[in-house]
Chains A and B, each alone.
Chain A
């Protein structure tokens, strides 16, 4: 990490020795509209996708915690996207999102009279389409973590609530959610970090397009390093990303009241 930070103050094309250029890379970054747009896309993907996937994961975990028939099968099916290679996932979703009648999404919509949508080639829908995939892919691990946490909550608390006449919603709100706070913090932080590491999905699904409407920060770093051969600038972008992640983690901790006694 120290080497990367040092490299961020240089101009380095991987052939010649790095040349110290001071803060030029950081100045270029702050003037790079595409870089900040990619950062914004990460924020949007996270701000929309993470809460939705956490909520869905929590609901599924609560349902599975009740010991439903076929629980193991459901758990496996929900977790499968997390362990499937992103390349394979991208191929599947490319088919789902195909803009013609061949695409599954359009085929389903056509049954309701909705015309074909250009999911990944329309700048208005491309980012939303990516968010949907990230939600779908992210539910599994979150569900598993929540399920494990739910099983540590003492049954006595629920029994006491039953005696007091609490409804299911009240038990969920006043027992389950507070008890899951440390886990929620953990899931949130790891999800934020994972969100900012999103690369292969974008690489395979949209290559950041159309017209940079789905580019993310890691993809920009990749382009800077391996298409533009500007390794110094790429490491400076990585340092910016690191700072952002540290700040977000601190904010998340404060907001969720996470502590080391989780």
Chain B
């Protein structure tokens, strides 16, 4: 048998052997992959110890928000829980559903999830949001009205972290020019005032720059209605209140008091800011942008604020929105305590107030601490003063997200004149029934 002699690798013209080059490329490739993997992940965070909290949510999207999360929330939490690190992933609201869905499918869900009003029911139903013990509320001083959006089938599945909502604002100068003394107290008064405000180039009321679904729900609440029954298993808006709400919106258009085509586009000033509109239906989180872009329009002298009026039989109200915080089902029993502690920590004034200032929201507390910057936010101040009139109109059922996605086009069809109020409600009822049948 011939002895086989290992041949030496051929040398190449640049002096490196082929084997050395291959080895170099291999090392470079592995090193590059390692660098790439370490760069993956969208959130900042510090991995300090035994329990790293995985956080996911639509807040803290920019560098200012990240700084608040790190210094005002996490670092203060670490004073009592030094072994806890965190990793935060920012996902805007319009991508949150998709992100949570893929997380569920992949079996990798974050520990703490910041979501919105109306999200608790579907995610509690599918098991993503764990039930929270009632004791978690002890001593937090959360306003009872704000807890409504967090309860599903009599169990708490979220805490109302930062609250915002939809309110009406009006241009005082335009009101005074028409001799209108003050905001309306009923829906009929609102319609009358809107008619009086009609003028060349002015659309009296803008209800379409806000979410179509939220606008309809606001008027639904004003008529004393709600979308689903209290148990979330049946339809409630087909009692006449849903149709009345749609008809009211159609009537505003037909009066010439509202214009479906006049809506704020993303990145554009609101029609109200351009003085094309006298009354605006707006979300409280718009305050930072509004006060920055149009400071002269949001002063006490220039702008009035009012609640959505009732129909004469119901109280005025404002629609709760904002951010809720939940614990996911992936949190193991041994880590529950840390997660609960972190969730409670979010309500410490030193952790909550900076977020409220940043986001233009209010902390969900019965008695929020005095804060000059917060009260300079007129929307926040208004909502805090009117917490008793807050209504959790969105959600109410595990089929909420499905219903909302399919119902909004029906409302748009009504607003564009393609169908009447009754037909719209009939179609929305079909949508809701089909969704509920799937439960």
**With contact pairs A210-B416, A229-B402 given, residues A121 and B261 touching in the complex (Cβ less than 8 Å):** yes
Please tell me if A238 contacts chain B, counting CB pairs below 8 Å: no
Interface-forming stretch among A40-48, A71-79, A94-102?
A94-102
Which of B261, B402, B404, B416 has a CB less than 8 Å from the CB of A211? B416
Q: For residue A118, which residue of chain B has the nearest CB? A: B261
Q: How far is the CB of A206 from chain B (nearest CB, A)?
A: 11
Please tell me if A243 contacts chain B, counting CB pairs below 8 Å: no
Cα distance, A105 to B348, chains bound together (Å): 50
Q: For residue A125, which residue of chain B has the nearest CB? A: B261
Contact B408 A94 (CB under 8 A): no
Please tell me if B413 contacts chain A, counting CB pairs below 8 Å: yes
Contact A95 B416 (CB under 8 A): no
Which of A204, A211, A231 has a CB less than 8 Å from the CB of B409? A211
Interface-forming stretch among A137-145, A219-227, A249-257?
A219-227
Chain A positions 155-192 with a Cβ under 8 Å from a chain B Cβ: none
Please tell me if A129 contacts chain B, counting CB pairs below 8 Å: no
Which of A13, A122, A215, A223 has a CB less than 8 Å from the CB of B126? A13
Contact A102 B268 (CB under 8 A): yes
Please tell me if A258 contacts chain B, counting CB pairs below 8 Å: no
0/1 string, B114-155, CB within 8 A of A gives 1: 000000001000111000000000000000000000000000
Q: How far is the CB of B401 from chain A (nearest CB, A)?
A: 5
Q: For residue B128, which residue of chain A has the nearest CB? A: A15
Contact B127 A98 (CB under 8 A): no
Cα distance, A100 to B276, chains bound together (Å): 9
Contact B105 A14 (CB under 8 A): yes
**With contact pairs A211-B409, A212-B409 given, residues A226 and B416 touching in the complex (Cβ less than 8 Å):** no
Please tell me if A123 contacts chain B, counting CB pairs below 8 Å: yes
- Chain B residues whose CB sits within 8 angstroms of the CB of A209 once the complex forms: 408-409, 412
Q: How far is the CB of B276 from chain A (nearest CB, A)?
A: 7
Contact A95 B267 (CB under 8 A): yes
Please tell me if A208 contacts chain B, counting CB pairs below 8 Å: yes
0/1 string, B147-182, CB within 8 A of A gives 1: 000000000000000000000000000000000000
Q: How far is the CB of A244 from chain B (nearest CB, A)?
A: 23
**With contact pairs A100-B271, A209-B408 given, residues A227 and B126 touching in the complex (Cβ less than 8 Å):** no
Cα distance, A210 to B128, chains bound together (Å): 32
Please tell me if B202 contacts chain A, counting CB pairs below 8 Å: no
Which of B266, B269, B405, B418 has a CB less than 8 Å from the CB of A227? B405
Contact A14 B416 (CB under 8 A): no
Cα distance, A212 to B401, chains bound together (Å): 17
Interface residues contributed by chain A, number (CB under 8 Å): 33
Please tell me if A247 contacts chain B, counting CB pairs below 8 Å: no
Cα distance, A208 to B408, chains bound together (Å): 11
Cα distance, A240 to B126, chains bound together (Å): 28
Contact B268 A95 (CB under 8 A): yes
Q: How far is the CB of A230 from chain B (nearest CB, A)?
A: 8
Which of A15, A98, A212, A230 has a CB less than 8 Å from the CB of B265? A98
Cα distance, A120 to B276, chains bound together (Å): 19
- Chain A residues whose CB sits within 8 angstroms of the CB of B271 once the complex forms: 100
Most chain A CB within a 10 A radius of its CB, from B128, B276, B409 = B409
Please tell me if A91 contacts chain B, counting CB pairs below 8 Å: yes
Please tell me if B190 contacts chain A, counting CB pairs below 8 Å: no
Which of B98, B261, B408 has a CB less than 8 Å from the CB of A99? B261
Q: How far is the CB of B55 from chain A (nearest CB, A)?
A: 21
- Chain A residues whose CB sits within 8 angstroms of the CB of B406 once the complex forms: 34
**With contact pairs A15-B126, A94-B268, A211-B416 given, residues A226 and B263 touching in the complex (Cβ less than 8 Å):** no
Please tell me if B97 contacts chain A, counting CB pairs below 8 Å: yes
Cα distance, A123 to B415, chains bound together (Å): 11
Which of B104, B405, B418 has a CB less than 8 Å from the CB of A223? B405
- Chain B residues whose CB sits within 8 angstroms of the CB of A20 once the complex forms: none
Please tell me if A228 contacts chain B, counting CB pairs below 8 Å: yes
Contact A91 B127 (CB under 8 A): no
Q: For residue A28, which residue of chain B has the nearest CB? A: B434
Chain A positions 229-248 with a Cβ under 8 Å from a chain B Cβ: 229-231
Which of B262, B405, B410 has a CB less than 8 Å from the CB of A228? B405
Please tell me if B382 contacts chain A, counting CB pairs below 8 Å: no
Which of B101, B102, B265 has a CB less than 8 Å from the CB of A94? B265
Contact A123 B267 (CB under 8 A): no
Chain B positions 339-370 with a Cβ under 8 Å from a chain A Cβ: none
Most chain A CB within a 10 A radius of its CB, from B102, B263, B418 = B263
Contact A121 B418 (CB under 8 A): no
Cα distance, A223 to B406, chains bound together (Å): 9
Please tell me if B42 contacts chain A, counting CB pairs below 8 Å: no
Q: Offer 25 A-B interface pairs, CB within 8 angstroms, sorted by A.
A: A15-B126, A15-B127, A34-B409, A91-B267, A98-B265, A98-B268, A100-B276, A102-B268, A102-B274, A118-B260, A120-B265, A121-B260, A121-B263, A122-B416, A209-B409, A210-B413, A210-B416, A211-B409, A211-B412, A222-B98, A227-B402, A227-B404, A228-B435, A229-B126, A230-B438
Interface residues of B (CB under 8 A from A): 97-98, 101-102, 104-105, 122, 126-128, 208, 260-263, 265-269, 271, 274, 276, 401-402, 404-406, 408-410, 412-413, 415-416, 418, 435, 438
